[in-house]
Amino acid sequence: MRALTIIPGHANSAAITELDDLDPKPDHLIIQGVSLGICATDRDLASGLFGMAANGHNHLVLGHESVGRVIHAPVGSSCAPGTLVTGYVRFPDPIPCSACAAGESDMCVNGAYTERGIKGRDGFGSEMWTSHPDDVLAIPSSMVSTGVLVEPASVAAKGWAHIDAIGKRAWFAPRVVLISGAGTVGLMCGLLAAGRGLEVHLFDRLKSGPRPLLARGLDAHYHTGDISTVMQKISPDIVIDTTGAGDVVTEEIKGLNRNGILCIIGFSWPPLDLSVDANHLYREMVMRNNVTFGIVNASREHFKAAAEALANAEQSWLEELITRRLPLSRAVEGLLIRDDDIKTIIEIGG
Helix axes 300-312, 150-167, angle to 10 degrees: 110
What DSSP character marks residue 263? E
Strands 291-294 and 15-18, by their bridges, are: unpaired
Supply the pLDDT for residue 201. 98
Confidence of residue 176 (pLDDT cuts 50, 70, 90): very high
Q: Which residues contact 233 (CB under 8 A, 6 or more apart)?
A: none
CB 257 within 8 A of CB 237: yes
Confidence of residue 16 (pLDDT cuts 50, 70, 90): very high
Amino acid at 203: F
3 state SS of 174: coil
CB 344 within 8 A of CB 324: yes
Q: Which tens digits make up the pLDDT trace of 33-72?
A: 999 999 999 999 999 999 999 988 999 999 999 999 999 9
pTM for this entry: 0.94
Supply the pLDDT for residue 270. 62
Q: Which tens digits make up the pLDDT trace of 289-303?
A: 999 999 999 999 999
Supply the pLDDT for residue 94. 85
pLDDT at 76 over 90: no
Q: Which residues contact 103 (CB under 8 A, 6 or more apart)?
A: 299, 300
Q: Using alpha carbons only, give the angle 10, 13, 17 rounded to the nearest 5 degrees.
A: 135
What DSSP character marks residue 257? P
Cα–Cα distance between 261 and 164 in angstroms, integer?
10
Confidence of residue 271 (pLDDT cuts 50, 70, 90): low
Cα–Cα distance between 228 and 238 in angstroms, integer?
15
3 state SS of 133: helix
Q: Is 270 exposed, middle or buried (0-12, 13-18, 19+ CB in 10 A)?
A: exposed
Cα–Cα distance between 326 and 94 in angstroms, integer?
37
